[in-house]
Amino acid sequence: MGRSVSDPVELQSAFLNHFTSIIGSSPPHPPPFDLSGKLGVSSDLSEILLAINQLPSGKASGLDGFPIDFFKKFWDIIKTDLMRGFLAFQDCSLDLSKLNKAYISLVPKKESCTVFSDYRPISVINSFVKIITKVLANRLQPHIKDLVSPLQTAFTKDRSIMESFMVTRKFISFYHKNKLPAILYKVDFAKAFDTVSWTFLTHILIERGFPPVWISWILQILRSSSSTVKVNGLRQGDPLSPLLFIIVTDALQSFFNNASSLISGLVLISPRALQYADDTIILMEANSRSLLVVSEILSNFASLSGLRVNDAKCLFVPISIDESVLPNIASILRCQAKELPITYMGLPLSIRRPKKIHFQPLISAFQRKLDGWKARFLSLGGRLTLIKSVLMALPLHFMQVLKLPPWLIRHLKGIRRRFFWKGNSKCLGGHCLVNWSKCCLPKANGGLGILDLQRQNQALLLKWLWKLKHDPYSVWSSTVQLLYGTLDINQLISSPVSYGLTDILQQGPFFNISLVDANPTAIWKWTANGIFSSSSAYGVLSNTGTISKFHHALWKVKSPPRVKIFLWLLLQDRLLTQQNLMVRGWPSPASCPCCSSGLLETTDHLFLHCNYASLVWSLVQLRFRLPSLNHTLGIDDFWLSQRPSGLKIWDIIWAATTWNIWKERNRRIFSNCSLPVHLLLKEILVNIDTWKKFA
């Protein structure tokens, strides 16, 4: 029987001796996973072409000057040579060092960069090597879920990147509510991708059952690589490195498994590392033994893997712990204590609802984007593109795990609304030609397809209910089962739960009516395959039931985005004609500027009944030999009535003609000049020819 040790120094020495004997010099690992015959087979043309098509277009080329677009466009010409190169690589007869060269692009991590560590190195790799790594990544991806712990949620299909955040928030709320002393240790690895030991990676691959030929390919890629700055590690520019990286970091889970007998685990959970790539959270009991074990695990892991802890960026959060012991904890973990909320994965992690100040980074991100855009020089089409591609993406990170408060939704709505209608200027009600709620309708319902933030937030939160129902063994579902004893949504709704789960359960009624019960799992009724998707949920939540009669045709018209927005406004009678200006109370001459009839300028008059417009349409009709045009119809029926005629170019003719009539109208009002009808026809023909070729 061993003797009792109480002195802190002696305790640490005894512990280190015992722990070192367990860890030794080789990393602990789970049983090998049989991958023989799955990864090491020779490639064929179809596999290579699939990889090429999956790589994104429009990216910078490597030192060879050949972007991925080149391989896509000239596949039929170069495929034989490419196949020979692949076969030479796979039988190790290719000198890859001549091709496996990269230059490093330094991306600033913050605004003011003063030292090298303030930059993130991104390798720009030659396309041939990128294609090789994409083929290998495609082979590895189906097996990665079996190779890494469920506690690692990065780069793995069917695992949510937000699962680590959700589980961490759930546990700290539970510990705080039940006054269980605990520590949340947030670990930061210094230059994680760049410092991975190749020796350690090779050892892990062997122990995990990877075939020798596969390992030889990986080593061939690593050892032949060269950059403007020579590094060890894994380069961040190829598709394979992220998968190899999480295989390496998964070894940390094995360290914890083997040391579990040394650590006093918390109620309901043994200490584990919740990981998203290198973002790591460790939950543990607040005693010296647990702290020393965790510290030594990280030290041993660093010496073997090359992934060293950056103490300056680490922190720990005490939960229900007396302040007097915090200095001792800080000295063992070599980092500072912080109070909740802290930032984890870019989000405020707290046991309470975030306050206004915690959403300020999101608001600031919106403002930074707007400040960088010269909005007054952008058309409505350009602004719509930026709203959909950039501004709509910014809050998604928050909306996946947090119910946005009403004030924030109103604020972000105002920012997007103002940017769309007025750029960065102040936007009053009269400046908005269409109600914003209609702009946020799906195109099928007559809107612009801009996502409504509240409905999008609901749709994203519904994903967690689907996990409870469809994936009971996920880390998130297991945590809920552990803490509340059930995964039944109706039972959870009636139970006292934390604010985060309450927000999710509020979506329960809609979720329940969206399911079809079937054995062994539920079926989501809004998709063909019965699998939940946030986009399908958003579509149902946004559907008004009113289908626009022109949406199918409008957004398929071959024309620039600014013209499509113009047509959308035209079909809703929302252009600022003299009639619409009068409705808004803006002073304006009532007569049509394009004719001397003295009639009020309405939408139908300007584009169809005006003498000038009628003459333009007559010339267009003669030029394209159109059937008789019915000018007595409204502008929408006038367009739609001609579509069944079989003339495929009619949509472009109609778009170009109305667009140029509108430009002529504005020319006469704002520039005090005009074009004769025959010159306007020439402008129309130029637009038609251009839009046909380049749409």
- What would the pLDDT profile of 300-356 be if each residue is shown by its tens digit? 999 998 889 999 899 999 999 999 999 999 999 999 999 999 999 889 999 999 999
Among the listed residues 249, 241, 230, 260, the one whose alpha carbon sits nearest the alpha carbon of residue 304 = 249
The rounded distance, in Å, linking the Cα atoms of 349 and 359 is 12
What is the arithmetic mean of pLDDT over 194-210?
A: 87
Tokens of 635: 């502008």
- Provide the residue type at 244 as one letter: L
Among the listed residues 183, 158, 220, 174, the one whose alpha carbon sits nearest the alpha carbon of residue 295 = 183
What is the per-residue pLDDT for 360? 93
The rounded distance, in Å, linking the Cα atoms of 286 and 305 is 27
Cβ proximity of 248 and 307 under 8 Å:
yes
**Burial class of 259 by CB neighbour count within 10 A (0 to 12, 13 to 18, 19+):** buried
What is the per-residue pLDDT for 363? 92
Taking CA atoms, 84 is separated from 87, 90, 220, 532, in Å, by: 5, 10, 17, 43
Tokens of 352: 């309470």
The region of weakest confidence among 157-166, 279-288, 636-645, 661-670 is 636-645
The rounded distance, in Å, linking the Cα atoms of 638 and 609 is 12
Cβ proximity of 223 and 99 under 8 Å:
no
What is the per-residue pLDDT for 12? 38
Q: Is the pLDDT of residue 236 over 90?
A: no
What is the per-residue pLDDT for 3? 53
Cβ proximity of 279 and 260 under 8 Å:
no
What is the per-residue pLDDT for 271? 54
pLDDT in tens, 489-536: 888 888 888 888 899 999 888 888 888 876 667 788 899 998 999 999
Q: Is the pLDDT of residue 65 over 50?
A: yes
At residue 134 the predicted structure's pLDDT band, cuts being 50, 70 and 90, is: very high
Percent of the chain residues past pLDDT 70, beyond the cut: 86
Domain ranges of the chain: 356-433, 455-542, 554-694
Cβ proximity of 438 and 544 under 8 Å:
no
Q: How crowded is residue 445: how many other Cβ atoms within 10 Å of its Cβ?
A: 17
Tokens of 454: 């509240």
**Burial class of 233 by CB neighbour count within 10 A (0 to 12, 13 to 18, 19+):** buried
Size (the chain), residues: 695
At residue 158 the predicted structure's pLDDT band, cuts being 50, 70 and 90, is: confident
The rounded distance, in Å, linking the Cα atoms of 391 and 385 is 9
Cβ proximity of 451 and 538 under 8 Å:
yes
What is the per-residue pLDDT for 336? 93
Alpha-carbon Rg of the chain, whole angstroms?
31
Report the sign of the C-alpha dihedral through residues 496, 498, 503, 508, in that order. negative
The rounded distance, in Å, linking the Cα atoms of 154 and 193 is 14
What is the arithmetic mean of pLDDT over 261-286?
A: 72
Q: Is the pLDDT of residue 16 over 60?
A: no
* H or E segment to which residue 571 belongs: helix 561-571
What is the per-residue pLDDT for 6? 44
pLDDT in tens, 424-468: 666 665 678 899 999 999 988 889 999 999 999 999 999 999 998
What is the per-residue pLDDT for 80? 93
What is the per-residue pLDDT for 695? 53
Question: CB neighbours of 339 closer than 8 A, spacing ≥ 6?
Answer: 317
- Chain centre to alpha carbon of residue 396: 7
**Burial class of 308 by CB neighbour count within 10 A (0 to 12, 13 to 18, 19+):** middle
Please give the DSSP secondary-structure letter assigned to residue 2.
P
The DSSP annotation for 43-65 comes to P-HHHHHHHHHHSPSSPPP-TT-
pLDDT in tens, 242-252: 899 889 988 88
Beta bridge partners of 102: 125, 227
Q: Is the pLDDT of residue 31 over 70?
A: no
What is the per-residue pLDDT for 14? 40
Tokens of 167: 């589980």
Cβ proximity of 597 and 609 under 8 Å:
no
Angle at 165 between CA 160 and CA 169, to 5 degrees: 135
What is the arithmetic mean of pLDDT over 544-548?
A: 76
The DSSP annotation for 470-533 comes to H-TTSHHHHHHHHHHS---HHHHHTS---HHHHHHHTTHHHHHHTEE--SSS-EETTSTTS---
Q: Is the pLDDT of residue 112 over 90?
A: no
The rounded distance, in Å, linking the Cα atoms of 310 and 190 is 5
What is the arithmetic mean of pLDDT over 470-491?
A: 87
**104-134 as b/e: b if 16+ CB within 10 A:** beeeeeeeeeeeeeeeebbbbbbbbbbbbbb
Residue with tokens 């087979």: 41
What is the arithmetic mean of pLDDT over 376-395?
A: 89
Mean pLDDT of the chain: 84
Q: Is the pLDDT of residue 256 over 60?
A: yes
What is the per-residue pLDDT for 570? 94
pLDDT in tens, 591-647: 888 887 778 889 999 999 899 999 999 999 999 888 887 778 888 888 888 777 667
288 φ/ψ angles, rounded to the nearest 5 degrees: -60, -40
The secondary structure of the chain in percent helix, strand, coil, rounded to multiples of 5, reads: 55, 10, 35
The rounded distance, in Å, linking the Cα atoms of 162 and 632 is 57
